[in-house]
Amino acid sequence: MAEIDAQPFAFAFKPVTMALVVIDMQRDFAEPGGFGASLGNDVSRITAIVPTVKRLIEGFRAAGLPVIHTMECHRADLSDLPPAKRDRGNPSIRIGDVGPMGRVLIVGEPGTAILDELAPLPGEIIIEKPGKGAFYATRLSEELKHLGAQQLVFAGVTTEVCVQTTMREANDRGYECLLAEDATESYFPEFKAAAIAMIRAQGAIVGWTATTDQVLQGLA
Ligand code: C5J
C-alpha cells in the first residue's frame, strides 16, 4: 500500500485502484457572464485554483492513473431539469436561458464547456450530470467498476455543493475518498472550510483531505 500524508490520518491506497474525479470545472462556474456569476458570485475565487487543478490532473496523467471529468449540464429540451432546480434562487439568467456564453448549463453550449486549461484528453471519461452529485442519473458507477477504482481523489467546484455531494455519494458506495483541499473552491470561503472540516471529522466520516503537493508526493 502507498500512502498520502492526509488528515485526519494517512490515506492508504493501491495505485492501480486510484482515480481522480474533477468536478464541474466549467466556464459557467468560473467565468464572468456564466451561471455562477449570474447568481451574484465572485468567480475569481474559482479561476484562482485552475493552475493547482491542472497540476493535480497532470500528476495523475503522469502516473498513468485515470482522470474523470464531470460537467453539470442539461439536455437542450430541458427534460432532465426539474422545475424545482430551474426555478431556484434569483439568478439574472436561469438554466436553459440564452446568456453571454450560449444557453446556460446546456450540453454543447460554449459556457457549459470545461475550461480550456483543464480540457479532458482524448479517451478520458467525461460524465454529464444533471444533478449536484455525479452518481445521480449518470453512468459514473459503471465507469468506476470498469476501471476497478476503489479510491478516489476529488477536485473541482464548488466544494460544499457538487464536490461534497459527490464525495458523500461515493463514500456510501464504498469508495475511499480524499479531497484535494487547494484544488477545490467555493464562492463562500466559510462554506469551503466547513465542508473540509465536516468531511474529515469523526475519523474521516466522509473522507480524507490533503494538499495537492501531498497527493502528488504520495503518487510519486
Ligand atoms: C453549483 C456545482 N454550485 N458544480 N454547482 O450549482 O457546485
For the chain, list the strands marked E by DSSP: 2-4, 11-13, 18-23, 67-72, 98-99, 102-103, 125-129, 151-157, 176-185, 208-210
Predicted local confidence at residue 167, as pLDDT:
98
Contact present, 155 and 121 (Cβ < 8 Å): no
Predicted local confidence at residue 143, as pLDDT:
98
CB of 186 shorter than 6 A to ligand 1 = no
pLDDT in tens, 26-81: 999 999 989 999 899 999 999 999 999 999 999 999 999 999 999 999 999 999 99
Q: What percent of the chain has pLDDT over 90?
A: 95
pLDDT in tens, 14-28: 999 999 999 999 999
pTM: 0.98
pLDDT in tens, 91-128: 788 999 999 999 999 999 999 999 999 999 999 999 99
> Of all atoms in ligand 1, which is nearest to the CA of residue 26?
4
The side-by-side arrangement of strands in the sheet containing 18-23 is 125-129, 67-72, 18-23, 151-157, 176-185, 208-210
CB of 20 shorter than 6 A to ligand 1 = no
- Longest Cα–Cα distance of the chain, Å, equals 50
Alpha-carbon distances of 174 from 121, 167, 207, 215, rounded to whole Å: 28, 11, 11, 21
1-219: which CATH topology?
A: Rossmann fold (3.40.50)
CA distance 160 to 191: 6
C-alpha cell at 103: 444557453
Would you please indicate which residues are annotated as catalytic (active-site) residues? Answer: 24, 129, 162
